[in-house]
Amino acid sequence: MADTGEPLNHSIEPIAKQTEKKKTVNVYWSEAEDAKLVEVLLEEQANGQQAESGWKKAVWTKVIIALHQESPASKNKTADKAKTRYDRLKGDYKAVKALRDQSGFGWDDGKQRVTAPDSVWEPLIEAKSPLAKWKEKSFPLFDDMAKLCRDVIATGDNVFRTRTPAESSQGSGFMDGSDWYEGGNNINSDIEEVPQKPETPAVKKRPYQATSPEPSSRKK
């Protein structure tokens, strides 16, 4: 092959592009944005927009419109990011509820925070459990998230209370936090799934066998 003297950059650039890592942008959610997200979802729940399998698609569009109208800083929020944030809030709710359901833990209505003696928190802190963060962290959305998770019981006069462990199908024994992860993992997603068609049983095909023609009667 003749040497044209041109640099072979065209063979290096594709390799450089393949090795270039994609940058991920973290989206910060303020307490006000979380509150607005939950507020809109409660309104849509009252309007019958929450199905057993999850939220209807139009709900997330309404959430984003409300967020954008509330604050210009919310312009980077999308429907997918709102779904992911709701899953995180569900994970937080279930973690706090798991603590509240355990013996030795209480709840401070004023601070909206789980309470317990240091001796109760100590095993979680020593185990570096994700649940240990709730010793210093409040969760003011607990009651509203209980309604969204349908984990409340009406007691009359529009008053609600959270289900007790015996009443809740999710009541369980003490947890060391190993089943809880940041980001809302190990919880049901509210993204609607397209139902798949049931599989039809495969029909067995018999191997083809050639049949010889019947012998014709001899001519007399």
Q: How far is it, in rounded angstroms, from Cα 185 to Cα 179?
A: 9
Residues 14-46 have pLDDT tens digits of 545 554 555 556 789 999 999 999 999 999 999
Residue 176 phi, psi dihedral angles, 5° rounding = -90, 5
Which pLDDT band, with edges at 50, 70 and 90, does 212 fall under? low
DSSP string for 81-110: HHHHHHHHHHHHHHHHHHHHTSTT-EEETT
**Distances from the Cα of 207 to the Cα of 204, 210, angstroms:** 9, 10
Identify the H or E element spanning 35: helix 31-46
Q: Give the range of the structural domain holding residue 92, as residue numbers without chain letter.
A: 29-162
Residue 169 has pLDDT above 60, yes or no: no
Residue 186 is assigned to a structural domain of this protein? no
pLDDT at residue 211 in the model: 57
For residue 71, the model assigns a pLDDT of 86
120 or 51, which is more confident:
120
| Residue 181 domain-assigned (yes or no) | no
In the predicted structure, residue 170 carries a pLDDT above the cut 80: no
Q: Is residue 109 part of a domain?
A: yes
Residue 131 included in any domain: yes
pLDDT band per the 50, 70, 90 thresholds, residue 219: low
176 belongs to a structural domain? no
Q: Is the pLDDT confidence value at 189 over 50?
A: no
- pLDDT tens for each residue of 193-202: 333 444 445 5
pLDDT tens, residue by residue, 58-96: 999 999 999 999 888 888 999 999 999 999 999 999 999
Backbone angles phi, psi at 140, to 5 degrees: -65, -10
Confirm whether pTM is higher than 0.75.
Answer: no
pLDDT of residue 56: 87
Q: pLDDT tens for residues 109-167?
A: 999 999 999 999 999 999 999 999 999 999 999 999 999 998 654 444 444 444 544 44
pLDDT, residue 150, reads: 81
More confident call, 155 vs 219: 219
Q: CA triplet 102, 108, 114: central angle to 5 degrees?
A: 40
* Residue 210 is assigned to a structural domain of this protein: no
| Residue 59 covered by a domain | yes
Q: Is residue 41 part of a domain?
A: yes
Domains identified in the chain, total number: 1
The per-residue pLDDT for 27 is 83
